[in-house]
């Protein structure tokens, strides 16, 4: 029995009962990861260190003193989290030699819980992208191959994390989500990905893309796994001044509870969005499943939701251009050849980043210029209106159901004529980032091409337990077959 077939929950149980050891488990995942090299999941492998961590975990288990239910579990960490002493590149040439001098709060929490870090995982450069094609280290390939046998993207920006979970390179993975970067790749790879409520996971030690939108979250095979991992990622951190103090609940506490009587919202304005048949079919399946389990389907209206994507493309680049101003090659990062200080900035920033990043920084700079600032402020006002729409909806329902994304995973080598089209991949996901609401992707079914399709549940603030409750039910009903 290949040990990589156990879910996180199963592996945890077997570790506690000493049926398996963390060393065995970690070794199995290392072997698996090596075989999966063509998928280009890893940027930096930390296998030696992982084995040491596994051994330490085993010592704790043998004494009956595990640090947590995820003690000894091998996990992949998106290369956007600073991990002390380990190269942290953000998938960029700019940071290709950067050794993190400190540990991010989220990964520190996981270290305290005894996790085994298998490595730093591939992603879109600086988390900007929906296909993991922009990485300095090359594209990630989706382990799922459709009927047409074309290579597929894993989605982005947490493409490597999602692909790795799906392909069983690791038991679970960390991702970050700014406009859908956990949920969309989860949808493309048939995995469970959650973007928690904004302010749930500390952003300290995560390379910032868009400060008011970024949020770390777990990518796993199952809903239960997801809750187990979130439990040790989340928590108030006073180093992050954008977090409000809060008590982490027992995230898994409502898993398995009946959803009878819960109200699930369907967005009136989304009904007319043009979607491929299989996506619609999949979505309707989800509705049916929820009704079968006793949930009530309620129509809600989000009148301004159609503006979410455009305002995201004003706000996110603007924040990014500001957060990326520190990358100048002076104190760290790859410094270009320069005889004068101006060239140092211009060349380092010009050479260190790929096209996508540069595009967004330029757009962002544009949006913040004095002459355009009015438009930026206008976008932030529309953001409030959209958030109001959602608040109104949540007065009537417990969760909102939408497709996660509007297609199956794109072919890897498809020429993109109109990038705006590609942006629509985030249509259903950006609202959760703009409003700060938690949202989760659950694999629902397959497209006509036999590629995964997911659906998204959006919950109310800090109501991840309720979200997991409904997600679990859907997961049970959908019975999606992992790879």
Q: Is 93 a catalytic residue?
A: no
DSSP classification of residue 429: T
Burial class (CB in 10 A: 0-12, 13-18, 19+), 106: buried
Classified as helix, coil or strand, 286 is helix
**Three-state secondary structure call for residue 255:** coil
CA dist., res. 190 & res. 22, Å (int) = 26
Residues 6+ apart with CB under 8 A from 199: 242, 243, 244, 246, 436
Closer residue to other proteins in complex, CB, 206/252: 206
Q: Where are the alpha helices (DSSP H) in 275-354?
A: 277-292, 308-323, 341-352
Closest to other proteins by CB, 29 or 126: 126
157 is catalytic: yes
16 vs 322 by CB, closer to other proteins: 322
Closest by CA position to 426, among listed 135, 183, 126, 213: 183
d(CA 158, CA 29): 19
Q: Which is nearer to other proteins, 90 or 184 (CB)?
A: 90
Tell me the closest approach of the beta carbon of residue 94 to other proteins, in angstroms: 10
- Nearest to other proteins of 256, 350 (CB atom): 350
Question: Least CB distance from residue 27 to other proteins, whole Å?
Answer: 31
We find the least distance from the C-beta atom of residue 373 to other proteins, in angstroms, to be 8
Question: Of the two residues 163 and 399, which places its CB atom closer to other proteins in the complex?
Answer: 399
Least gap, CB of 82 to other proteins (angstroms): 5
Please, which residues have CB within 8 angstroms of residue 238's CB and are 6 or more apart in sequence?
A: none
What is the smallest separation between the CB atom of 459 and other proteins, expressed in angstroms?
14
Interior angle at CA 171, CA 433 and CA 118, nearest 5: 95
Helix axes 373-394, 355-368, angle to 10 degrees: 100
| Widest CA span in the chain | 70
Catalytic residue among 92, 104, 134, 157: 157
Identify the active-site residue in 161, 181, 425, 447: 181
Sign of CA dihedral 406, 412, 414, 417: positive
The number of angstroms, rounded, from the C-alpha of 100 to the middle of its chain's C-alpha atoms is: 21
Q: Is 181 a catalytic residue?
A: yes
> Which is catalytic among the residues 9, 32, 33, 78?
78
Least Å distance between CB 343 and other proteins? Answer: 8
Query: Would you state the structure tokens that stand for residue 101, as one six-digit string?
Result: 């001098």
Active site amino acids: 78, 157, 181
């Amino acid at each position: 029995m290949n040990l990589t077939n156990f879910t996180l929950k199963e592996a945890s149980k077997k570790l506690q009962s000493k049926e398996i050891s963390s060393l065995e488990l970690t070794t199995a995942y290392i072997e698996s990861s090596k075989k999966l090299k063509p998928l280009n999941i890893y940027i930096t492998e930390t296998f030696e260190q992982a084995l040491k961590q596994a051994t330490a975990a085993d010592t704790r288990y043998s004494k009956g003193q595990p640090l947590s239910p995820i003690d000894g579990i091998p996990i992949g960490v998106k290369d956007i989290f600073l991990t002390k002493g380990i190269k942290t590149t953000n998938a960029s040439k700019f940071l290709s030699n950067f050794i993190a001098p400190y540990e991010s709060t989220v990964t520190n929490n996981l270290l305290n819980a005894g996790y085994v870090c298998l490595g730093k995982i591939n992603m879109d450069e600086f988390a900007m992208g929906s296909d993991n094609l922009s990485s300095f280290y090359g594209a990630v390939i989706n382990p799922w191959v459709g009927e047409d046998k074309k290579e597929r993207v894993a989605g982005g920006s947490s493409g490597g994390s999602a692909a790795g979970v799906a392909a069983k390179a690791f038991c679970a993975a960390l991702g970050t989500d700014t406009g859908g970067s956990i949920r969309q790749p989860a949808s493309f790879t048939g995995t469970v990905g959650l973007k928690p409520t904004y302010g749930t996971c500390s952003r300290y030690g995560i390379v910032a893309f868009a400060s008011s939108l970024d949020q770390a979250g777990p990518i796993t095979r199952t809903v239960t796994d997801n809750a187990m991992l979130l439990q040790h990622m989340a928590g108030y951190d006073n180093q992050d001044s954008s977090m409000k103090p809060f008590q982490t609940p027992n995230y898994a506490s409502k898993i398995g509870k009946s959803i009878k009587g819960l109200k699930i919202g369907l967005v009136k304005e989304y009904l007319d969005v043009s979607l491929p048949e299989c996506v619609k079919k999949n979505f309707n399946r989800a509705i049916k499943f929820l009704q079968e389990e006793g949930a009530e389907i309620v129509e809600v209206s989000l009148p301004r939701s159609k503006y979410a994507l455009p305002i995201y493309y004003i706000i996110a680049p603007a924040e990014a251009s500001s957060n990326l101003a520190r990358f100048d090659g002076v104190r760290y990062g790859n410094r270009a050849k320069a005889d004068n200080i101006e060239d140092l900035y211009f060349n380092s920033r010009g050479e260190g980043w790929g096209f996508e990043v540069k595009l967004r920084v330029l757009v962002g700079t544009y949006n913040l210029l004095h002459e355009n600032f009015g438009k930026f402020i206008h976008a932030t006002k529309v953001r409030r209106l959209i958030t109001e729409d959602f608040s109104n909806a949540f007065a009537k329902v417990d969760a909102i159901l939408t497709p996660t994304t509007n297609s199956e995973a794109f072919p890897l080598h498809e020429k993109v004529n109109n990038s705006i089209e590609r942006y629509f991949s985030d249509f259903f996901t950006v609202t959760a980032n703009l409003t700060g609401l938690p949202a989760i992707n659950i694999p629902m079914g397959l497209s006509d091409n036999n590629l995964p399709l997911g659906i998204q549940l959006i919950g109310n603030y800090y109501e991840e337990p309720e979200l997991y409750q409904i997600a679990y039910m859907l997961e049970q009903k959908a019975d999606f077959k992992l790879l």
